[in-house]
Amino acid sequence: MGAQLRVYKRRIRSVTATKKITKAMEMIAASRVVKAQRKVAASTPYATELTRAVTAVGTGSNTKHPLTTQAETVTRSAVLLLTSDRGLAGAFNSNAIKAAEQLTERLEREGKEVDVYIVGRRGVAHYNFRERKIAESWTGFTDEPTYADAKKVAAPLIEAIETATAEGGVDELHIVYTEFVSMMTQQALDARMLPLSIEEIAEERPKGEILPLYDFEPSAEDVLDALLPRYVESRIYNALLQSAASKHAATRRAMKSATDNAGELINTLSRLANAARQAEITQEISEIVGGSSALADATAGSDR
Amino acid sequence: MAAELHVALVAADREVWSGQATLVVARTTSGDIGVMPGHQPLLGVLESGPVTIRTSDGGTVIAAVHGGFISFADDKLSLLAEIAELSDEIDVQRAERALERAKSDDDASAERRAEVRLRAATTR
């Protein structure tokens, strides 16, 4: 076997092995997307009921609560960025990080200090590499987040928003995550979680539905006090789940194109290998023919 | 036909139980509260404790609820809890073990959770 042909054969073997791996990863990711989607669906009833309740307190009472009222001058905001622990997901993480950076830039232009909170090793690595300050970070659960994880993430954020700004607290809470639109479309977006604008929530509700006048037990303030941390937790939980589903979908897509590319590469390489083999054969034949005619010429010469 | 209310008991990560009921008794921070059809709209904070639901077919559903909210409007009642378990799902032995462990560790909240779980399991 010629050297050229051997090189092609070796490359075909290695690409085939890679293709098998990416194919397996694609299928694993596909099954995880379905699981993650199911979790998103399972968490929806709680989130909708909670939003309904928050809207009810927000609109049905004249309570002024620090979490619902906008501070007159916002000096510091917190940004929570959700990324994944593992890569191999195409542009998933870089899109989320880019969205967070745009948001940070916008907030800084408005003259606000920005505290960054990060979930996921990829985001942490990105910020550490650039030696930027991270207020707090969490890793290790982005593939399958649980409600306990969401609580863990929410706790320091709620604490920060409840602290006065002068003592290092924040006035605003933003979240950057990747929304799972469909299997093919995931979108990195930012949203302001707190202070929450009641109008915004009210807009999400079907038109024409009149909210009943609730009787609060024990009082509207107490209900709001208890309700808002839960609301933040549930929003974060939902964002974590959507992020996880998006990550798996992005992985699936990235691995699918890797598998397709590997297939294409194998085709090209086998064509090249075939051509090399044919060239080798042709060369051998011409060598034999050339050799035998030279021999024939030589014997014919000696006869003379 | 007696009036009915629609009950949905939802935990953070799943819907635990939903169906028609005639009476729901839950513990709020200011005391036990019973809700029957036609009650005025209500929104309250729940203590951790057992919730009793009398279903319209005469049965009783008991669940252990750890913190959360009760909201009622238009004969629709929702119980929102971070953690909620139906009494049939509770493993009594495990809850007892958890109670003992919590007592020895002096973990008041874990002890309370285990107690509520046990109470819900034994009253079924």
**ipTM for the assembly:** 0.76
How big is the CA angle at A241 (ends A240 and A247), to the nearest 5 degrees? 90
Range of the domain at A224: 26-256
* CATH number of the CATH domain containing B21: 2.60.15.10
Position A89, amino acid: A
Query: Dihedral, CA atoms, A167, A119, A188, A168, nearest 10 degrees?
Result: 0
Distance CA A168, CA A161 (A): 9
- Per the CB < 8 A criterion, the answer to whether B50 and B116 are in contact is yes
CB-closest option in B43, B74, B78 to A223: B43
Q: Locate the chain A residue with the closest alpha carbon to B18.
A: A45
How big is the CA angle at A36 (ends A30 and A37), to the nearest 5 degrees? 90
B49 plus B82 within the same structural domain: yes
Name residues whose C-beta falls within 8 Å of residue A88's C-beta, 6 or more positions apart in sequence: A25, A251, A254, A255
Query: Which residues in chain A are closer than 8 Å to B44, comparing Cβ atoms?
Result: 216-218, 223
Q: Would you call B80 and A215 a contact, using CB atoms and an 8 Å cutoff?
A: no
B55 plus B111 within the same structural domain: no
Question: In terms of pLDDT, which residue wins out, B74 or B6?
Answer: B6
The shortest C-alpha distance from B107 to chain A (Å) reads: 18
* CATH number of the CATH domain containing A143: 3.40.1380.10
Range of the domain at B78: 5-87
- Counting residues of chain A whose pLDDT is more than 70, the rounded percentage is 88
Question: In terms of pLDDT, which residue wins out, B17 or B98?
Answer: B17
Helix (H, G, I), strand (E, B) or coil at A59: helix
A–B: how many Cβ contacts below 8 A? Answer: 87
| CA pseudo-torsion sign A226, A146, A254, A30 | negative
> What are A193-251's pLDDT values in tens digits?
877 765 555 555 555 556 667 777 777 778 888 888 888 888 899 999 999 999 999 99
Whether residue A55 is contained in a domain is answered as yes
- Is B15's Cβ below 8 Å from some Cβ in A? yes
- Is B76's Cβ below 8 Å from some Cβ in A? no
- Is B82's Cβ below 8 Å from some Cβ in A? yes
B44 plus B65 within the same structural domain: yes
Whether residue A18 is contained in a domain is answered as no
Q: Would you call A56 and B43 a contact, using CB atoms and an 8 Å cutoff?
A: yes
Calculate mean pLDDT across residues B32-42: 87
Res A128: pLDDT: 92
Q: Is the pLDDT of residue A301 over 80?
A: no
Whether residue A1 is contained in a domain is answered as no
Calculate mean pLDDT across residues A293-304: 80
Helix (H, G, I), strand (E, B) or coil at B80: strand
Distance CA A138, CA A156 (A): 11
- Is B12's Cβ below 8 Å from some Cβ in A? yes
The shortest C-alpha distance from A128 to chain B (Å) reads: 33
The shortest C-alpha distance from A213 to chain B (Å) reads: 6
Q: Which of A41-50, A112-121, A164-173 has the highest mean pLDDT?
A: A112-121
- Is B28's Cβ below 8 Å from some Cβ in A? yes
Res B118: pLDDT: 76
| Structural domains counted in chain B | 2
B68 plus B109 within the same structural domain: no
| Tokens matching residue B105 | 């560790």
Whether residue A296 is contained in a domain is answered as no
Res A304: pLDDT: 55
CB-closest option in A214, A222, A237 to B45: A222
The shortest C-alpha distance from A43 to chain B (Å) reads: 5
Question: In terms of pLDDT, which residue wins out, A18 or A72?
Answer: A18
DSSP letter at A215?
E
Quickly count helices (H) and strands (E) in chain A.
6, 6
Distance CA B26, CA B36 (A): 12
Please spell the DSSP secondary structure of A98-151, one letter per residue.
HHHHHHHHHHHHTT-EEEEEEESHHHHHHHHHTT---SEEE-S-SSS--HHHHH
**pLDDT tier at A143 (50, 70, 90 boundaries)?**
confident
B58 plus B108 within the same structural domain: no
Q: Is the pLDDT of residue A282 over 60?
A: yes
B109 plus B64 within the same structural domain: no
Whether residue A14 is contained in a domain is answered as no
B64 plus B20 within the same structural domain: yes
Q: Locate the chain B residue with the closest alpha carbon to A145.
A: B13
Q: Would you call A147 and B13 a contact, using CB atoms and an 8 Å cutoff?
A: yes
* Residues of chain A contacting B, Cβ within 8 Å: 39, 42-43, 45-46, 49-50, 52-53, 56-57, 146-147, 150-151, 211-218, 222-223, 226-227, 230, 233-234, 237
Position B2, amino acid: A
Res A31: pLDDT: 93
User: Which residues of B1-99 form beta strands (DSSP E)?
Assistant: 5-11, 14-28, 31-35, 42-46, 49-55, 60-73, 76-86
Query: Which residues in chain B are closer than 8 Å to A39, comparing Cβ atoms?
Result: 13
Kindly report the pTM of this predicted structure.
Answer: 0.82
B62 plus B105 within the same structural domain: no
Q: Is the pLDDT of residue A257 over 90?
A: yes
B73 plus B100 within the same structural domain: no
| Structural domains counted in chain A | 1
B34 plus B9 within the same structural domain: yes
